[in-house]
Chains A and B, each alone.
Chain A
Amino acid sequence: MAKDKRMGLKEKYAVMTRGLDWETSYQPMDDVFPYDKYEGIKILDWDKWADPFRLTMDAYWKYQSEKERKLYAILDAFQQNNGQLNISDARYMNAVKLWLQGITPLEYAAHRGFAHAGRSFRGAAARVACQMQSIDEMRHAQTQLHAFSHYNKFFNGMHGFAHLRDRAWYLSIPKSFFEDAMSAGPFEFVTSISFAFEYVLTNLLFMPFVSGAAYNGDMATTTFGFSAQSDESRHMTLGLEVVKFMLEQHEDNVPIVQAWLDKWFWRGYRLLALVGTMMDYMLPKKVMSWKEAWEIYWEENGIALFNDLSRYGIRLPKHHEVATKEKGRVTHELWSTLYQYGNALGLHTWVPEDEELDWMSEKYGELFDTMYRPRLLHFRAQEETGKRYFNNRLPMVCQVCQIPVFFTEPDDPQTQCVRIVEWADTKHHCCSDGCADIFNREPEKYVQALIPPQQIYRGEAGGARDIFEYAEWLHLVKDVDTGEYHGSPDHLNWEAWKAELPTPQANSDEAA
């Protein structure tokens, strides 16, 4: 008998999974999979979809359950040892609040989105990849909640993230981002989330939060980050694969993919303004500035990726040069906006300490010193005379990204940038040419966006008549969950805990 040749991993996987999908016979395939053609993407051969991970469901469960055991062992230890006292400063908690309110719901939305995309693809490999990612995302949402839940016992503003997600005006920024993706077709969804967000911009999202957590003594979040990273690599690979697959399958796909990359680069970039502001302002111990992160992760890595993509006939995303022009200002512009609207936020805002202002001067140079430092110092002076400034109204927000229309003209940081777009005799406001382009490409879609300030003023927020009644409708307690950090219960508690805290030596003596 001829010696059996050992099967390679790839071959083994093919044999194990062969024929798990099938061509339907009672119903036409197009009726069973009604969504994977209407975006115009042409697929000639689904079998060309490379399945880089070749993970069986059996192995998947085994790995994930071991990850859970490790993560929860560390979370237990963190909680038993009052890990909340090890963070750098209570101001750091506002980064965690922003994550909990803004990002964790996105993980859950991703779970839903990938379940839907997976159901929509007629290729089995793409379906399985989406299915696993869908389960990953559910796990990420749950493990994040568990990692953060301990902090909820000690800090304010963390009690109602799901309630806030559907009601808070500023959380419509991340929420609308994902709902835009989820209401697109399956190919656009995977391009937007797996490629543009999780591949191209991932380091600008994940790094600041996870490294920020590590720098600021947040063991719970750091450990969550490690447990998620091995999933993230699978997600990034899915992103690369789907884009290569579409580009290689048919040349008619190239302009469609280009339009999606233009759109989702800009949408992702706008969403990251929140993350950048977190990096620059909410981390008491800074990892790097938004500007530096943009230079490394976009200007170097992102552009290298697009240079490679140019071989497929893909060019750099539209308005990327605007994003680069804005790198020295978006975070300062956004922080001063959040600072003003602090009575309608589920987190605290403040004027940074002097050494932080110096750090910003060092990182942002003259522009910071001439434009943003004086404004921050003005805010501080007002606060010191008992007149902490709040803008007790709600801002006009962009019809697309839903960020307040406060950004400045690409070539003039002194002039507000407003773009008015028109459709069906109605005018809408956009924050930038990038968002205006997105609106004009699909106006029918974006006119349907419910713009929170407009809805609130129409009485749709439980009939709230002003920003304070609105905050109550959000279940936020004035000056406890909202408002200025200095003098807040979070601030005062932290000072009290730190004052009581025995020194490490005393602690070890007691243990002995």
Chain B
Amino acid sequence: MSFQVTIEPLGATIDVADGQTILDAALRAGIWLPYACNHGLCGTCKVDVIEGEVDHQHASAFALMDVERAEHKTLACCATLQSDVVIEADVDEEIDAEQIAVEDFTATVARMEMLTPTIKGLWLEVAGDGVAFQAGQYLNLFIPGLEQPRAFSIASAPTEPQLIELNIRLVEGGAATGYIHNELKLGDSLSFTAPLGRFFVRKSAPEPIIFCAGGSGLSSPKSMILDLLESGDKRAICLIYGARNVSELYYADLFNRLAEEHPNFTYCAALSESSDESPWAGFRGFVNELANERFGGRFSGYKAYLCGPPPMIDACISTLMQGRLFEEHIFMESFLTAADGVEPARRSALFKKF
């Protein structure tokens, strides 16, 4: 029997499996809660239980005192659920996060187009009101024959709820992306769950924005930029995109056009493959190197949004921090595919998000 926990003040509701701790469920859902020892001894992960019942499990009597148990506190690293539960944790409220209920949808494949030799654009038509989502979020797509759904970021703007665009890179040997690239046909029906994820633009923060995207990590930034520009946002917005070579560079025309139409938007791209001999007058190197060049190595006063494979995100974080932009101003969506094949490096408790 599994229950759900709602985490205030974020308002996020997530599933917690039988025997799973609140902390584990939250971290796996991409929600950071304060914690340290992770086994009930230090008390860093203490939260208030506002509704419902938890089992404190083996929380130390010194880390979770009787008076605290009486006051409905618990340690997220130990507590399991006895019912649906609402907790309040000591995390920053996200005033720009829209609370949109997750729903199941069935859609029809309305259009397919190869955007690059490896990335396929997929447009899914949804009947009725369509899919409500916040720019930057993703959906979980069910592939016929595969038990686990696959996560794909939505590339279209929220103003087009009935036609959802996904950009899907073919992963070598990948069952899901192989199906989408090789077997999926126009008119096929697909089901998905949406919207998911907590990657979104902090619109209430006034700072100008830098987007750094790599590979098929362009989807979320594309949706976010369309959303910002459509809503008439006048702050400076810069998209820095990195691809391996010219043939993998996509939507350059779209972004160049947007840059002409909107003086507050700039676009630039970097190509990373050194063996690439195609003509390219632009920057050669990695996204973070291009960012460094564009901004003269100084990023303080901006908000940065990063989306792409883990090594790109990692390099960008280092570059941004050396340019004096720190954790509270950096937001990211990192995705791992089988193709990345990299174990995330061992990390300390120094950073919350990285």
Contacts and interface: CB of A to CB of B under 8 A. Distances in A.
Question: Do these two chains interact?
Answer: yes
Interface of A: 6, 8-11, 52, 54, 62-63, 66-67, 70-71, 226-227, 229-230, 232-233, 236-237, 240, 244, 248, 251, 300-301, 304-305, 307-313
Nearest to B10: A8
A230 B73 CA distance: 15
5 contacts: A6-B8, A8-B9, A10-B93, A233-B37, A300-B346
B293 interface: no
Contact of B41 (A66, A230, A313): A230
Given A9-B48, A230-B41, A313 B354 contact: no
Contacts of B350: 240, 244, 305, 308-309
Contacts of B68: 63
Nearest to B43: A230
Contact of B36 (A237, A244, A307): A237
Nearest to A312: B321
A311 B321 contact: yes
Nearest to A223: B62
Interface of B: 8-9, 34, 36-37, 41-44, 48, 60-63, 65-68, 88-93, 317-318, 321-322, 324, 326, 345-351, 354
Given A8-B9, A10-B90, A311-B317, A66 B349 contact: no
A232 B321 CA distance: 29
Contacts of A310: 318
Given A66-B65, A66-B67, A229-B62, A8 B8 contact: yes
Nearest to B9: A8
A307 B345 contact: yes
A239 to B, nearest CB: 11
B36 A230 contact: no
A8 B93 contact: yes
A313 B89 CA distance: 32
B322 A311 contact: yes
A34 B321 CA distance: 31
A313 B8 contact: no
Contact of B60 (A66, A226, A248, A311): A226
Contact of A248 (B36, B322, B326): B326
A304 B346 contact: yes
Given A233-B36, A308-B354, A67 B62 contact: yes
Given A8-B93, A240-B350, 15 more contacts: A11-B93, A63-B65, A66-B66, A66-B67, A70-B61, A71-B62, A226-B62, A230-B41, A236-B36, A237-B44, A240-B349, A307-B345, A308-B347, A308-B354, A312-B321
A324 B41 CA distance: 30
Q: Which of B36, B62, B324 has the most CB atoms of chain A within a 10 A radius of its CB?
A: B62
B67 A9 contact: no
A62 B348 contact: no
Contacts of B66: 66
Contacts of A229: 37, 41-42, 60, 62-63
A230 B326 contact: no
B63 A251 contact: no
A374 B116 CA distance: 70
A126 B172 CA distance: 52
A43 to B, nearest CB: 15
Contacts of B93: 8, 10-11
Nearest to B68: A63
A62 B67 contact: yes
Contacts of B44: 233, 237
A310 B66 CA distance: 42
Contact of B42 (A52, A227, A232): A232
B58 to A, nearest CB: 12
Contact of B34 (A52, A62, A226, A308): A52
Contacts of B88: 8-9
B321 A230 contact: no
A226 B348 contact: no
Contacts of B324: 251
A9 B91 CA distance: 8
Given A230-B42, A304-B346, A308-B354, A10 B92 contact: yes
A248 B320 CA distance: 12
Q: Which of A67, A229, A236, A300 has the most CB atoms of chain B within a 10 A radius of its CB?
A: A229
A313 B63 contact: no
A226 B321 contact: no
A67 B92 contact: no
Contacts of A63: 65, 67-68
Nearest to B89: A9
Contacts of A67: 62, 65
Nearest to A311: B321
Contact of B90 (A6, A9, A311): A9
Contacts of B48: 9
Contacts of A71: 62
B322 A313 contact: yes
Minimum-distance CB pairs A-B, first 5: A233-B42, A305-B348, A8-B9, A311-B321, A304-B346
B320 to A, nearest CB: 9
A312 B351 CA distance: 12
B326 A308 contact: no
Nearest to B66: A66
A60 B203 CA distance: 38
Contacts of A227: 62
A364 to B, nearest CB: 26
